[in-house]
């Protein structure tokens, strides 16, 4: 006859199994919902008939939610969506420690990375949250960049906002050759749209008071700030940012 302790252990194991299954089912349904929303947006764009082909591009997302699912990043190269935005740090492979005390640099515009591993680490200091880090190598050295953090016993992972997991040259193959040449040279040319400028010189910060026709965006550009004025979505004025912002 089974003892009460054994019955209790079996009951707890079954309960745990139900909880785990529910969590994974919820994640799966959420991912399906996100994919369906993206597909519906694309369908609506096609129905409206936007003249800009960029609106029809729907980059693949991984929807990571824990350490295991985030390791999908190691299965293919990734490309940085917004250069000069994300700080990375030295990573010691032997000790598996991240040197949070010293910045090693900023990820570059459309920089291609081979993610070797995804780990967690806690910066020194009271109250610091556990960070999820993508480990990569560059010029013979190993680095790690934050892709999420732990909050309320769950991870908030933003790697889908950081990286393309498909070659952007394929995603935006409709761009002209001279646009891709400017992107490769990290230059903004007249007539480029805002996304193309982001690919070329990284993240930008719009000025307040921009209109639907005219928009001014300031780009840190890795320490060489540039200001671009867009007229009707196209770069019309490109100059050094004298404010140094």
- In percent, the amount of the chain with pLDDT more than 90 equals 71
List the CATH code of the domain at 172-240: 3.30.1450
Q: Kindly state the average pLDDT of the residues 133-161.
A: 96
Q: According to the model, what pLDDT value does residue 181 have?
A: 98
Residue 10: pLDDT band (50, 70, 90) is low
- Judge contact between 193 and 179, C-beta under 8 A: no
CATH fit for domain 67-164, picks 3.40.50, 3.30.110, 2.30.30, 1.10.3470: 2.30.30
Please name the helix (run of DSSP H) or strand (run of DSSP E) that holds residue 239, with its range, or none.
strand 234-240
Q: Which residues of 26-56 are buried (b: 16+ CB within 10 A; e: fewer)?
A: eeeeebeeeeeeeeeeeeebeeeeeeeeeee
List the beta bridge partners of residue 145: 134
Q: According to the model, what pLDDT value does residue 12 have?
A: 54
Q: Is the pLDDT of residue 27 over 60?
A: no
Q: According to the model, what pLDDT value does residue 167 have?
A: 98
Q: Is the pLDDT of residue 28 over 70?
A: no
Q: Give Cα separations from 89 to 103, 134, 138, 221 (angstroms).
A: 5, 10, 11, 20
């Amino acid at each position: 006859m089974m003892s009460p302790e054994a019955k209790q252990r079996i009951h707890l194991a079954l309960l745990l199994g139900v909880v785990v299954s529910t969590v994974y089912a919820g994640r799966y349904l959420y991912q399906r919902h996100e994919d369906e929303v993206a597909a519906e947006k694309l369908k609506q764009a096609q129905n409206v008939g936007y003249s800009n082909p960029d609106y029809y591009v729907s980059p693949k997302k991984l929807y990571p939610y824990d350490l295991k699912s985030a390791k999908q990043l190691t299965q293919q190269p990734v490309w940085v969506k917004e250069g000069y935005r994300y700080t990375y740090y030295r990573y010691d492979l032997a000790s598996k420690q991240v040197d949070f005390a010293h910045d090693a640099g900023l990820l570059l515009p459309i920089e291609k990375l081979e993610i070797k591993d995804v780990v967690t680490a806690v910066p020194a200091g009271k109250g610091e949250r556990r960070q999820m880090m993508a480990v990569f190598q560059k010029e013979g050295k190993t680095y790690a960049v934050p892709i999420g953090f732990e909050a309320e016993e769950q991870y908030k992972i933003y790697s889908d906002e950081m990286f393309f997991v498909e070659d952007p040259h394929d995603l935006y193959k409709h761009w002209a050759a001279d646009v891709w040449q400017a992107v490769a040279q990290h230059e903004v040319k007249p007539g480029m749209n805002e996304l193309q400028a982001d690919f070329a010189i990284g993240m930008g910060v719009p000025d307040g008071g921009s209109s639907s026709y005219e928009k001014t965006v300031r780009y840190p550009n890795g320490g060489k700030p540039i200001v671009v004025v867009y007229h009707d979505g196209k770069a019309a004025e490109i100059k050094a940012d004298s404010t140094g912002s």
